[in-house]
Amino acid sequence: MAKKNVAVEATAESSENAIALHETAGLSQGQIIRKRFFRHKPAVASLIALIFITLFVFSASGIHLGTDQHPITIPGWWKYTLTDIPDTNFCGIAVGCPNWQHPFGQDPIGRDYFALVMRGAEQSIMVMLVVGLIGGVFGTVIGAVAGYFRGWVDAVLMRFTDFIITIPSIIIGAVIGFKFGNLGVVALAVYLGLFSWTGLARLVRGEFLSLREREFVDAARIAGAGNIRIIFKHILPNAMGVIIVAVTLMLAGAILLETALSYIGFGVQAPDVSLGSLISEYQDSFTVSPWLFYWPGVLIISIALCVNFIGDGLRDAFDPRQRRRITRRDLIKATFKKPAEEA
């Protein structure tokens, strides 16, 4: 019985390898990655949803950069802005009920809540992208250099990383938000990004410590490749699975951190808004005007879930060690398609 199970496992593994080789024959690395990613249906659906949310938010709200003294604004298609106060709609004891003119309702002073939510979502998405970009670059470079060179370079970089890790992120964010929150969301995101790379750096370092001992790295050294080329051309592509997962977690964490900071009053400062500040400001209106609480929460959860699903799909696409599920149809296709093509 044991021999039979071993034989079945060996046959399954052989069939899986045959399927993988058959599906990737003649394809470049980029084409293989795209094919693996588009096979992951939740990731594709999440990517479409995130693109739609981003385009919808920025086209409705417009683009707002700079500071209060030097604003850079491109208006959107929605007719109301943060400062407009149209006539307030009443329904019983509630103020500003949703209607055709104000689909998300109005806040207690009469401002259009759709304009506020779109502006808040724009701020949160911008923070997420900037923090992910800066933190991803810093964490990857520092972790790669530390893991590849080891020795005193590794010791210095990792002790600095450990020092940053010991400081709670919420405290760093609160200090940064209090000091630089009035400079605009981009400046706040840049400062947050400078402290968000530590977890990624440690993961990349561990991956590089393992990969630098592999045969393909020795072959690259023998062929005359320099350290920079070995790091970024040979080792880094093999570590992309770990990096992609860590960066997507960082993106989701960034939007939640910005929400938490705005909720406690250390994030985006009034008169500007973010999703966290909207939830904080109108949490007492939940029983009377629940729509003031629902829409920011729905957007926060939707964006975070989309980012996590996309990261899962990218991990499977970049990591060649991920094993795929074999179906009966795959076995039949791998067995009979090639002879048919040769005939």
Domain residue ranges of the chain, discontinuous segments joined by +? 42-328
Query: For the whole model, what pTM was predicted?
Result: 0.75
Taking domain 42-328, whether its CATH number is 3.30.930.10 is answered by: no
The confidence score (pLDDT) of residue 140 equals: 92
Mean pLDDT, rounded, of the chain: 78
Choose the weakest-confidence range: 65-79, 190-204, 231-245. Answer: 65-79
pLDDT tens digits along 210-220? 888 888 888 88
- pLDDT bin (cut points 50, 70, 90) of residue 93 is low
- pLDDT band for position 340 (50/70/90)? very low
Q: What is the mean pLDDT of residues 59-75?
A: 72
pLDDT of residue 325: 46
Percent of the chain at pLDDT > 70 equals 77
> Residue 282 pLDDT > 70, yes or no?
yes
What is residue 8's predicted lDDT score, i.e. its pLDDT? Answer: 42
- Give mean pLDDT, residues 80-101: 73
Q: Which residue has the higher pLDDT, 17 or 236?
A: 236
Do 268 and 274 contact (CB within 8 A), yes or no? yes
Number of other CB atoms surrounding residue 39 within 10 Å: 14
Q: What was the pLDDT predicted at 14?
A: 52
What pLDDT shows up at residue 106? 82
* Amino acid identity for residue 249 in this structure: L
Q: Per-residue pLDDT for 341 more than 50?
A: no
Q: Which of 90-99, 136-145, 268-277, 314-323 has the highest mean pLDDT?
A: 136-145
Q: What percent of the chain has a predicted confidence (pLDDT) above 90?
A: 14
Tell me which of 305 and 5 has the higher pLDDT: 305
